[in-house]
Amino acid sequence: MDAPLRLISSNPLDQLARTVEALLVVASAPLSVEELAIAADDGEERVETALGLLAERYREGRSGIVLERVAGGFAFRASRDAAEACSRLFERPVQRGLSPAALETLAIVAYLGPCSRPEIARIRGVAADSAVAGLVERGLIAEAGREDAGGAVRYRTTPLFERVFGLDSLSELPRLDDLGDSSDEILARLHSVAEQRSA
């Protein structure tokens, strides 16, 4: 994109940045570039440039408010050095006390979603009903239609999940192939255990 003209004293891009700033202040959820462009009645490329200006103005360490890219959009949050004060003002029921079972269930839904409770139970080896219900209540996962055959409700993660975990999108999760051991390694270990026993 071309650099904005410096000759003009009242830079129109600066006006657009002020508009985008205002939109982000009144929004309670992250706004995408497209949403901002429609609301500001301007081009997406210019909105992105304006967001660049704002990101510089609202960066960590410079302002109490920080502009961040999260959940597929842009949103303001408190700066990290204000976190302690914020925590005295607010409780955070969404994040508080996610049990290992809830985190495993959340991981399965995030990677394999939309998926149903039986699918989750098959992977974890135990029923997932209460974990799923708890995550739905916290707004981290939501119903996403039903399976064609069995009619079991399927679940996917919500934009709130991405926001709470500070993810721009689910693609920021580590690759599944990079996690855990391969089944070949586990099989080899099973065999070695079996051989030890038979010896």
Interface with other proteins (CB under 8 A): 27-29, 68, 75-78, 80, 82-84, 86-87, 90, 94-95, 98, 100, 103-104, 106-108, 110-111, 118, 122-126, 139, 160, 163-167, 173-174, 176, 179-187, 190-191, 194
What backbone torsions phi and psi does residue 167 show, to the nearest 5 degrees?
-105, 140
CB of 180 to other proteins, least distance (A): 4
CA distance 175 to 41: 38
CB of 47 to other proteins, least distance (A): 21
3-state secondary structure of 103: helix
Write the single-letter amino acid at 131.
Answer: A
3-state secondary structure of 115: strand
CB of 152 to other proteins, least distance (A): 13
Closest CB to other proteins among 13 and 66?
66
CB of 14 to other proteins, least distance (A): 25
Q: Where are the beta strands (DSSP E) in 27-108?
A: 65-70, 73-78
Closest CB to other proteins among 41 and 97?
97
CA distance 101 to 30: 29
Closest CB to other proteins among 13 and 109?
109
Q: Are 124 and 105 in contact (CB under 8 A)?
A: yes
Closest CB to other proteins among 46 and 163?
163
